[in-house]
Amino acid sequence: MSNLESYPPVFRPLNASPAPLLPQLNNHAMEDSSSSSSSSVPVPVVDLQCLSLEELGEACKEWGLFRLVNHGIPPSLLIKLEEHVKVLFALPFESKQALVTNPLSYFWGTPLLTPSGAALRGALNINLLEGINVPLSQLPQFQAEDPRLKDFRQCVEEYGRHLSRIATTLFEAMLKSLSVCPQQSESGLDESTGFIRLYRYPPGPLADEAWGMMEHTDSSVLSIVNQDRVGGLEIFKDNKWLLVNPISGTLLVHIGDMMQAISDDRYMSVKHRVRVNKQEERVSICYFVFPGEGTVVRSSKYKPFTYTDFQAQVQNDTKTLGYKVGLDRFKLNPPV
């Protein structure tokens, strides 16, 4: 377990006391926790070297998620990156805040509601996590003087190039599998929008009551997740929550809201959440990629919109309602 001083101050009672000093949590978020499976579900596997459009399409339609193998990222790079991430998160809280500067950003709590964590105790939706945002397109201009950040930057840049290659390959294959019209394919995926978000979830006795990340769908076209060995990711399928454990050397690919719209709802954005572990902290490295700025997403199911429109609506709903409504806001025939 990392030194308590590395956690945001409000998280420290989670690890230091059997009776944490956090407020009562959102009961709605916890009411279905008993439905969670105790053993991992075998999600579909997609082989990037021998890519089958039929298998890829089936996984996206039935699951909205698949495990990617033979992705071409050297195992040594995956190990090195995880080590760098853990070193950064293990720094004292105040040091991280000072060290992680523009274009990188450090946050804790719920990013949309409390980017600095200042209002954590009063927030309706409490995510027990801390994170670092890494906008890949801005890394070449990032002048890191601290040697820890220099090494991290080189490592994450290399990793980002691999993820960009993987996302582009998968997206092009998905369009072929869908046989979408030219207008929809132009809605596309822009590599320059890709960013990596590093997450750390603290362990503690609230594991049965609190979520590292509450249920949501990703707003991206695609999200690519690298879990450490601790796990805790759960997906919602067939009206129940299913645990998806990590398997070393593999990646998890999520269909996001933008891909669901581009596919005319044939591919579904997977609802997921992260459970806190009682004994061990959890680290994950997530990559998100979006349509280009100003690019109009066109679909037979939704009004034409840009990702900027979508993001603004999500932020407004989160501030006013306390949760993300998402694609339902843009449906041609909204649910009653």
Confidence band of 206 (pLDDT split at 50, 70, 90): low
Per-residue pLDDT, averaged over 116-133, amounts to: 62
pLDDT at 185: 63
Q: Calculate the CA 162 to chain-centre distance.
A: 17
List beta partners, residue 284. 199, 227
In the chain, the number of structural domains is: 1
Instruction: Note whether residue 41 is domain-resident.
Output: yes
Residue indicated by tokens 């298998």 = 55
pLDDT at 70: 97
Instruction: Note whether residue 76 is domain-resident.
Output: yes
pLDDT at 128: 87
Enter the pTM of the model: 0.87
Instruction: Note whether residue 301 is domain-resident.
Output: no
Instruction: Note whether residue 259 is domain-resident.
Output: yes
Per-residue pLDDT, averaged over 246-275, amounts to: 95
Instruction: Note whether residue 150 is domain-resident.
Output: yes
Q: Which of 14-18, 164-168, 172-176, 271-275 has the lowest mean pLDDT?
A: 14-18
What is the domain-level CATH number for residue 135? 2.60.120.330
* Pair of tokens at residue 249: 């050397």
Q: Which of 22, 203, 197, 207 is nearest to 117 (CA)?
A: 22
DSSP labels for 75-128? Answer: HHHHHHHHHHHHHHHTS-HHHHHHHS-TTSEEEES-TTT-TTSTTGGG-SS---
- 22-75 pLDDT, tens digit per residue, is 333 333 333 343 344 457 889 999 999 999 999 999 999 999 999 999 999 999
Q: For residue 201, which phi and psi values (nearest 5 degrees)? A: -110, 125
Instruction: Note whether residue 114 is domain-resident.
Output: yes
| Domain with 143 in it | 24-291
Per-residue pLDDT, averaged over 248-267, amounts to: 96
pLDDT at 127: 84
Instruction: Note whether residue 242 is domain-resident.
Output: yes
**Rounded distance between C-alpha atoms, residue 245 and residue 242, angstroms:** 10
pLDDT at 183: 60
- 149-190 pLDDT, tens digit per residue, is 889 999 999 999 999 999 999 999 999 999 876 566 666 899
Per-residue pLDDT, averaged over 208-225, amounts to: 89
Which residue did the predictor score with more confidence, 8 or 163? 163
